[in-house]
Structure 1
C-alpha cells in the first residue's frame, strides 16, 4: 500500500536518530508532510536531505514556550508522535532529585505540553492521532535498574489512556507504543558508557531477548505508521507492545 498518510501533517520529536528518524522517513515515504524536530541541528539537516517532504526545526522539548511557539506558527497537525525520551539508570537508591526531575521533564512533561498544544487544532477539525512512546519497562514489566525511567513510562501510559478517553467522541485518537530493546544510537551510547567489552555488552542485550536479537528502529516505525494512518481508525487508548516476546 502506498500513500497511507497522504495529505496528513505530522509533528515528530527526537527525529534526528533511531526510532524517530526511521519514523520520519517512513511517514514521508507514505505521503505525509513531516515536521521533524530534535535538539541536534546537524542530525536534522542530514534527515531533511533524505526526503523532500521532511521539514525540520530545532526543538528542545523541555521548554514549553518553544513548543507553543512552534505549534502556533504551524498549520494544524493531523498526527503527533512524541518520541523524545531519556533513560536514567539505577534503582531508587541510585536516583537523586535531579535525575528524577530530568526523567519526568523529558519523558512526561514534554508529552503533556505537546499534546495540549496540538489538541485544539485536532479538535477543531474533528480528527487526529497522537502516538506516545512508552516502554515495556513500565507497568508492563519490571526491569532492574530502570526505576525513574520505568516510573515515567508508566505515567505515559496513564496520560495516553486519559487523553483517549476524554476525546474518543471528538475524533482524536491516542495510543502508546511500548518497545523492548531496540538497536539505536541511544543504546549505543549507553553500551559505551558501561566500559569494558562493548561486544559482550551488545551480546548480553541480545541474549535476554527471546528472539535472540534486538529490535530495529524500522520495526517500531512500522507500528507508528499504522497508528498514524486511517487503517487504525478504530484503535484508541491501546498500549501496543513490540518487544520480541521479552515481556511474555
Structure 2
C-alpha cells in the first residue's frame, strides 16, 4: 500500500529539480500525477518514464491565467478527479535592490507569487468536489530570513507564505489543507554559481553551504520531495496553514565554533 494510493496530484515545475523528484516519489507511493512545466521535452520524458497509467504531462506557464483550466482538465480527463496540488514552479534572480529592473521584479512575482495564487484558485473547487484535498506551496527560507541580492525572490516567497495561511483558513471547511515548504539551498538547476563567483563555479556554491549550513551541504531535491509527500498524505491530516523549513539548520542561526 502506498501513502497516496488513489490520489491524483498536479505538480508544477515537474520537469526537473524538486518538482521532478516530487512527481517520481508521488507516483511510487501510488498517486497518479500530472506533471506541468514549460520545459516540454524534459517534462514529457519524465511522464513517459513514469508510464501512462501513472502520469500525464501538460504544458503550463503558471503565471498565465488561461493555462490553468487546461491543466486541471488534463487531470480530470485522464484520471477523473483532482486531489492535490504542489505549487513548485519558481524562478530565482540575483540582483541588488537598487539595480533590480522593474521588469525583472515583475517577472519573478508573476511566476512565484501570481502562479501560486492562480494555482490555488483553480484547483480549490476541484479539491472540494473530490471531498477535500491538499495544497502544498513551495515557499523559501528567504520568506523567513533575508538574503542579500534576493529582493524580488524574497518578496514573492513572503507573499506565498501569507497566501498559504489565508487559504488554509478559507478552505479548511471544505476539507482542504494548505501548507508551505520553506527550503534553504537545494541542489537543483535553480542554484546558479555565477553571482557568487564566476570563476569558481560549483566550488563556490559548495563552500557557501559548508560555511553557513550546520549540516554542511546543500539539500537534495528528494529531501524536499519527502516533505511534500508528508504534507500531501494523511500523515499530516491535522496540519494546515503552516510553514515547514527544510534547510539543514540554516535558519537556526550562526555557529561560531
Query: How far apart are the structure 2 equivalents of 1:97 and 1:241?
Result: 29
Query: How far apart are the structure 1 equivalents of 2:100 and 2:241?
Result: 30
Residue 206 in 1 paired to residue 209 in 2? yes
Residue 36 in 1 paired to residue 35 in 2? yes
1:191/1:202 contact within 8 Å kept: yes
1:39/1:60 contact within 8 Å kept: yes
Query: How far apart are the structure 1 equivalents of 2:70 and 2:44?
Result: 21
2:34/2:75 contact within 8 Å kept: no
1:54 is displaced (CA, Å) by 1.8
1:71 is displaced (CA, Å) by 1.6
Match of 2:132 in 1: 127
Once structures 1 and 2 are overlaid, which stretch shifts more, 42-51 or 190-199? 190-199
Say what the alpha-carbon RMSD is for the aligned residues.
1.4
Match of 2:255 in 1: none
Match of 1:147 in 2: 151
**Count of aligned pairs:** 244
Query: How far apart are the structure 2 equivalents of 1:121 and 1:176?
Result: 20
Q: Counterparts of 1:1-248 in structure 2 under 5 Å?
A: 2-52=1-51, 53-75=54-76, 76-138=81-143, 140-187=144-191, 190-192=192-194, 194-207=197-210, 208-248=212-252
Query: How far apart are the structure 1 equivalents of 2:61 and 2:164?
Result: 21
1:61/1:67 contact within 8 Å kept: yes
Once structures 1 and 2 are overlaid, which stretch shifts more, 78-87 or 203-212? 203-212
Q: Which runs of 5+ in 2 are unaligned?
A: 253-257
1:34/1:54 contact within 8 Å kept: yes
Is the alpha carbon distance of 1:119 and 1:55 closer, same or farther for their aligned partners in structure 2, counting shifts above 3 Å?
same
Q: Which runs of 5+ in 1 are unaligned?
A: none
Query: How far apart are the structure 2 equivalents of 1:116 and 1:61?
Result: 12
Deviation track 1:86-113 (CA, whole Å, cap 9, x = no partner) reads: 1121232121210111111000111111
User: TM-score if structure 1 supplies the norm length?
Assistant: 0.94
Please give the secondary structure, in 1, of the residue aligned with 2:56.
strand
Please give the secondary structure, in 2, of the residue aligned with 1:126.
coil
2:10/2:75 contact within 8 Å kept: no
Runs of 4 or more, structure 1, over 4 Å off, are: none
Query: How far apart are the structure 2 equivalents of 1:197 and 1:43?
Result: 28
User: TM-score if structure 2 supplies the norm length?
Assistant: 0.91
Once structures 1 and 2 are overlaid, which stretch shifts more, 45-54 or 234-243? 45-54
